[in-house]
Structure 1
Amino acid sequence: MRRSRLVVLVSSLLLAAGTALTGAATAQASSLAPTGGYVALGDSYSSGVGAGSYISSSGDCKRSTKAYPYLWAAAKSPSTFHFTACSGARTGDVLSGQLGPLNSATALVSLSVGGNDAGFADVMTTCVSQSDSACLSRLATARSYVDSTLPGKLDSVYSAIRSKAPGARVVVLGYPRFYKLGTTCAGMSETKRKAINNASDHLNTAIAKRAADHGFVFGDVRTTFTGHELCSGASWLHSINWLNLGESYHPKASGQAGGYLPVLNAND
């Protein structure tokens, strides 16, 4: 009788120890970087325009060592890292010039694209330099494009990524809200700020829907940027940069590290 109890006790202890070890191994495995390669695609929000420390060989693409893809790769050490995101890229540019490194060994793909297709630069130029009504009109045109045309363009990009990297986890990152509301902000009315934020939400919703329909993960950066919008007093975004207009309304290095990187880390 005592021997039976002892056997049961020992068996229980071994089972508990095995479970603990298995749990620890699982936790350790989940924290490891992908065993395959990482490819970072997309536009200026992924290349790191506004973050400085640009890689000289990237030329006008302005890929930064402070951009979230570079930071992620430095921390996780994937087997290969290809950084093809480029300033100004639209969906067609991603299709024609960025997908080369994708293959069956690619384990992770990150991407931000769609803002330039919807006329991001022209929208911001109009809203900064013209009246409330002109700003709202330009935003309405952008929203119409997002509803009617952008989904098909995103589908083309997402389908091509899946075809070339069938086993990859694909994280599609969105865009932040630009302005903190309910506070004084020089040069930009509350009407414009609210409309720009709403347009960003509209764009994110469209991107998230197309990503989900392709089985991709949508990385929402609006939460991490909350409290760090323009007019917040602690902005992670450039406002108008007269010395380098191309960096205007792009994340600073702090926005890449504090706004984008944590979202990729949470979804990789």
Structure 2
Amino acid sequence: MKLVTGRSIRMAAALMALATLGAACGSAPTPGNGPGKLVALGDSFTANSTLLPTTTTNGCNQSKQNQPRLVASRLGIADVTDASCDGAQTGDIMGGSAPQINKVTSSASVVMVSIGGNDLGFSDIAVQCSKRAITFKTCQGDYVKGGTDSLTAKVAATRPKVDQVLAAVKSRAPQARVVLYGYPTLLPMTGSSTCLGMTFASSDVPYLRAKQAELNVMLKASAQAKGVTYVDVYGPSAGHDPCSSTPWVNKVIDIPPLHPTHRGQTAVGNLIADALS
């Protein structure tokens, strides 16, 4: 999901570091020493750039404990190339000034992909719906007009772009095990109630939950069509929404909002490693 860039994100990251230094500075996964190469492509749900300790790869901040590094450790793979970056869309994997896809070569034995949320503009949607709720309004009408749901249309429009990414990965690394994984739940799985720090109108909650489910269903369909492994994150994250006692994702008021916690990145990494094992 797209984060605020520039000076504001650096300040936010610094504030979070001061507030969470003791809890966040855990040790990074122990690197493997075995053969193979793991390449990761994706957005901030893979990079997890504000979760300490961090590193920088090609100008992109990443957690040293994120999913690619955990999976490599679990599989005993020593060579890791993490191309994930905050704000990445499918277009950033396939093009732009530094296409992530260029990191995928025939030497890759595992390729991890997580993408699509920024193509829908999930962060912008969260901000818009939160603003509406603060003023005692709803946001569904901003996206559903004249019987047309613009978010459903965006999910459909993103499908061929994800297909293109997966096809390119398979073409570049035909011997690699390729994994596409979805997004964890951002809202409680049932009902319309949220909690303190999750500013959404109750009538918008089922709608927003349905839109995220549509995104994950689309990602699964793309993976199946392209013959790659899909790892369901949405289902296993039930009971670990931001309002739970063991959240995999931050609340709206947290820094960064609606992004993985340390618990979340570890849980997702283990789901991926289990699927590859």
TM band (smaller chain) = 0.7 to 0.9
Change (3 A) 1:34 1:170: farther
Counterparts of 2:57 and 2:38, CA distance in 1: 19
Q: Could you say which residue in structure 2 is the equivalent of 1:42?
A: 42
Give yes or no for contact 1:45–1:250 (8 Å, CA) kept in 2: yes
SS at match of 1:99: helix
Match of 2:272 among 244, 257, 264: 264
- In structure 1, give the amino acid aligned to 2:143: R
Q: Could you say which residue in structure 1 is the equivalent of 2:76?
A: 77
Compute the displacement of 1:262 (Å).
2.0
Task: Please say which of residues 33-42 and 118-127 is displaced more in the overlay.
Answer: 33-42
Give yes or no for contact 1:37–1:105 (8 Å, CA) kept in 2: yes
TM-score (normalizing by structure 1) = 0.79
Counterparts of 1:54 and 1:90, CA distance in 2: 22
- Of the two, which has the highest radius of gyration? 1
Counterparts of 2:78 and 2:194, CA distance in 1: 48
Q: What are the Cα deviations for residues 6-26 of structure 1, in whole angstroms up to 9, with x where unaligned?
A: xxxxxxxxxxxxxxxxxxxxx
SS at match of 1:171: strand
Change (3 A) 1:257 1:79: closer
* Structure 2: tracts of 5 or more residues without a match: 1-31
How many residues are matched? 231
Counterparts of 2:49 and 2:150, CA distance in 1: 26
* RMSD (CA atoms): 2.2
Identify the structure with the greater strand proportion.
2
- In structure 1, give the amino acid aligned to 2:207: A
Change (3 A) 1:113 1:68: same
SS at match of 2:63: coil
Q: Could you say which residue in structure 2 is the equivalent of 1:155?
A: 163
Q: Could you say which residue in structure 2 is the equivalent of 1:138?
A: 143
Q: What are the Cα deviations for residues 211-236 of structure 1, in whole angstroms up to 9, with x where unaligned?
A: 11110111111232111102223322
Compute the displacement of 1:34 (Å).
7.9
Counterparts of 1:56 and 1:115, CA distance in 2: 22
Counterparts of 1:77 and 1:239, CA distance in 2: 34
* Structure 1: tracts of 5 or more residues without a match: 1-31
Identify the structure with the greater helix proportion.
1
SS at match of 1:225: coil
TM-score (normalizing by structure 2) = 0.76
Change (3 A) 1:196 1:51: farther
Compute the displacement of 1:33 (Å).
9.5
